[in-house]
């Protein structure tokens, strides 16, 4: 069993493919080694949303945007720290 861990605000568009190295079928040339597993997501979106559902999605998108900004800021601080240590 393979469990994919994604943040709750991660969205997959229909047809999105995720590659998991070393978890696919055994290689014909070397059965002790495994190829990559490729998962294609088949996503069905609802035709309509009620107001609570719309609010939930809006909040998730805002949180996603805020988390991206926070991660970028943290990465910039890490780079600055490495440069200052040198």
pLDDT per position as a tens digit, 14-26: 888 989 999 999 9
Q: Distance of alpha carbon 75 from its chain centroid, rounded?
A: 18
d(CA 41, CA 80): 38
**17 in helix, strand or coil?**
strand
Taking residues 57-73, what's their average pLDDT?
73
pLDDT of the residue at 8:
57
What is the structure's pLDDT at 11? 72
Question: What count of other Cβ atoms lies within 10 Å of the Cβ of residue 34?
Answer: 14
pLDDT, tens digit, 9 for 90 and up, residues 40-50: 988 888 889 99
pTM metric for this prediction: 0.47
């Amino acid at each position: 069993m393979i469990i994919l861990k994604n943040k709750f605000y991660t969205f997959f568009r229909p047809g999105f493919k995720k590659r998991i190295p070393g978890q696919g079928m055994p290689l014909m040339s070397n059965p002790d080694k495994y190829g990559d597993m490729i998962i294609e997501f088949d996503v069905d979106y609802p035709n309509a949303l009620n107001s609570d559902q719309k609010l939930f999605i809006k909040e998730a998108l805002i949180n996603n945007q805020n988390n991206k900004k926070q991660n970028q800021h943290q990465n910039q601080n890490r780079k600055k720290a490495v440069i200052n240590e040198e």
